[in-house]
Amino acid sequence: MSDIVKRSDGKGIEIVNVPQGEWAPGARGGMRIQIFGEPKGFAYLALDCSGSMEGEKITQARRGALDFARGARAKGYAVGLIAFSDEAIHLCDPQADVTRLSAHLESVQVGSATNMADALSVALRKLKEKAGNRAVVLVTDGQPNRGEPNPVEATLRAARALKDAGIEIITIGTDDADAAFLKQIATRSDLSIMVEREELERGISSATALLPEGSR
């Protein structure tokens, strides 16, 4: 169980039910209480849910997304979710409650096409008015094949719009994605990570180290 209670001073209290043995070997269960303030940054995970992600890849993506959210929260980020296939679906606004993120991830359905441009455009609409550090982490195993008039050009235009708004773009691609294209999308080439498809979970989780820090 995890509940987030809003305090009158604007901060929050997360109350987590801790099972026996989680704190230390032989420890009894109990309650862990964590107080947190307003987010210092906002990040969206944009997850490719095209047909080629079906099976082990989408399973790894869900697990990696949860690890990423935990790590991002430790750095002061609230995390939101966008799923994209034929079109982008906004699953949830940036938040600190990882349990709620997990529920949204379980609802993700695999589609057919890969509409990266739509996912980036949704992220821009949601992040452009936010203050503080902002980032989009795009996870994919392929290339854009949906988006008018030209899927590749549409994706590059959407990426440029994010960059022009001061929003960082991090890309995570499997070995069957186009590495050169993902480097073009990313804000910088060092923010583009390529992993073996069996290592997708680790790749997504590791993206927390690339989130911008400090004030903007």
Q: Taking 70 as the threshold, does the pLDDT of residue 7 lie above it?
A: no
**Residues contacting residue 137 through CB under 8 Å, at least 6 positions apart:** 43, 44, 45, 46, 68, 170, 171, 172, 204, 207
How confident is residue 147, by pLDDT bands cut at 50, 70 and 90? confident
Give the mean pLDDT of the chain: 87
Distance CA(191)–CA(169), nearest Å, equals 7
Q: Taking 60 as the threshold, does the pLDDT of residue 70 lie above it?
A: yes
pLDDT at 18 (0 to 100): 43
Domain ranges of the chain: 1-37, 39-210
* Mean pLDDT on 144-172: 96
pLDDT at 6 (0 to 100): 47
Distance CA(38)–CA(96), nearest Å, equals 10
**Residues contacting residue 118 through CB under 8 Å, at least 6 positions apart:** 84, 87, 88, 146, 147, 158
* 39-210 topology per CATH: Rossmann fold (3.40.50)
pLDDT at 148 (0 to 100): 81
Per-residue pLDDT reduced to its tens digit, 75-86:
999 999 999 999
How confident is residue 20, by pLDDT bands cut at 50, 70 and 90? very low
The more confidently predicted of residues 30 and 90 is: 90
Q: What percent of the chain is modeled with pLDDT above 90?
A: 75
How confident is residue 200, by pLDDT bands cut at 50, 70 and 90? very high
